[in-house]
Amino acid sequence: MKNFSAIILAAGAGTRMKSSLPKVMHALSGKPLIKWVIDAVSSLKPDNIVVVLGHEADKVEEYLAKINVKNLKIVYQKEQLGSAHAVMQVRKVLKSYGGNILVLSGDVPLIEKNTLAFLIKDNQKVNSSVAVLAAEVSDPFGYGRIVKKDGFLEKIVEEKDANILEKRINLINSGIYCFDKNLWKALSKVKPNNVKKEYYITDTIAILKGMGKTASLTVTKNENEVKGINNRLELSQAETLLEYKKIKELFENGVSIIDANNVYISYDAKIGQDSVIYPGVFIGESVIIGKNCVLKGSSYITNSNIGSDSVISYSYINGAIIGKNVKVGPFSHIRPGSVLKDNVKVGNFSETKKAIISKNSKVNHLSYIGDAEIGEDVNIGAGTITCNYDGLNKHKTIIGSRSFVGSNVNFVAPVKVGENVVIAAGSTVTRDVPSGKLAIARARQELKRRIIK
């Protein structure tokens, strides 16, 4: 595939979203619409990606600055006067560029990289001045119609400008094009001769043909990938399409999902063979789950790795690394920075944060383990708390391997407990405990004479 640059149109107000957030910044499966488009284009290694911003440009620009995309440039369309006017704003950046120019919209997130590659190659193969990506749809309302003559692309007519016969056409324009260097000459001839008095990029088709140039048509068989997002309903429908695609992939790879209509699984989740997902599970972005895992109840998992043979029940897990054969829950909260190594158990109503819990250790009931390092084969009794925050700074608790911590123990950090230590129930530990010791840190029980009135 020869060199090309891409223009992504993202200047529209998106009024039908009924939101203060720019349309292209609305999230689909946790990722802004515009990022979906950028990712699809970036995978083809373009020479340049130029994003045209307008409405709430500062919000989109702030996001684009964070994602660090190679060769990305930004231009501005101060007045939203149509798609052709938007592309014209890029002329100062790409005027001397000699490769092909891919034009697409920032609100068409499901476009596949393979489809874009095919469009570009098709344009180069037939040496046309413009290749238009089209799709046959069951309901063409709202889309520009592809008008053909003698089997070839004649023109594109927008919905508001189409006559009765043209509105019956179900071959629609995706809004994605691949132009050669004649793009700029054609754009200079576009006039706002339409109902909305805007400059339409679709008019370049007839203009290029009038210049004796060739216009080609590439048709995708998957109408879903060219669906634009204009309102909240369409955003939800796109989410459903992504979800269906992901679940189908997981079924084919040997994952069991008890009720596919009652789970949420992010597009990028990786789940091993023979794992079982029960109703109510939510798997967000950046999750890797090993083989033979069981996920039960209303568990929420995001940005985490879970090793094979683990069981998660009714728990919230975010930013954690969980080893093999680990049991979490029911009703555990595993917070960022937590590392649960193989064979660990964190039980009901317990919480971990920035804690390393080593092999075979248990935090069974009603405990908080934060800013801590727990050795191997440690038993943490019910109600144990690492008191890690003094009001200004966080401090660490270290508990050595094979130690036993009784119920209702407080560790006032910073504190270090050695190996093979027993901490008596009800103790408040404020000083280090050497290995092999029994520590009792509680007031002596006294019995007083009961006075009965």
Residues annotated as catalytic are: 365
3-state secondary structure of 381: coil
Residue 397 sits at the vertex; the CA angle it makes with 391 and 402, to the nearest 5 degrees, is 160
Neighbours of 13 (CB within 10 A): 12
Q: Which helix (H) or strand (E) holds 308?
A: none
At 435, the amino acid letter reads: S
Q: Which helix (H) or strand (E) holds 210?
A: helix 203-210
Reported residue count of the chain is: 453
Residue 232 sits at the vertex; the CA angle it makes with 231 and 235, to the nearest 5 degrees, is 95
Measured over the CA atoms of residue 249, residue 252, residue 256 and residue 258, the dihedral's sign is positive
- The backbone torsions φ and ψ at residue 249, rounded to the nearest 5 degrees and listed phi first, read -60, -45
Compute the half-sphere exposure of residue 73: CA atoms within 13 Å on the CB side of its CA: 16
3-state secondary structure of 198: coil
Measured over the CA atoms of residue 380, residue 322, residue 282 and residue 64, the dihedral's sign is positive
**Spatial CA neighbour of 265 closest among 232, 293, 299:** 299
Beta bridge partners of residue 136, listed in sequence order: 171
Residue 198 sits at the vertex; the CA angle it makes with 41 and 71, to the nearest 5 degrees, is 25
Q: Which helix (H) or strand (E) holds 42?
A: helix 33-42
Torsion angle defined by CA atoms of residues 14, 19, 22 and 28, in that order, rounded to the nearest 10 degrees? -90
3-state secondary structure of 60: helix
Instruction: Give me 254's structure tokens.
Output: 């040997």
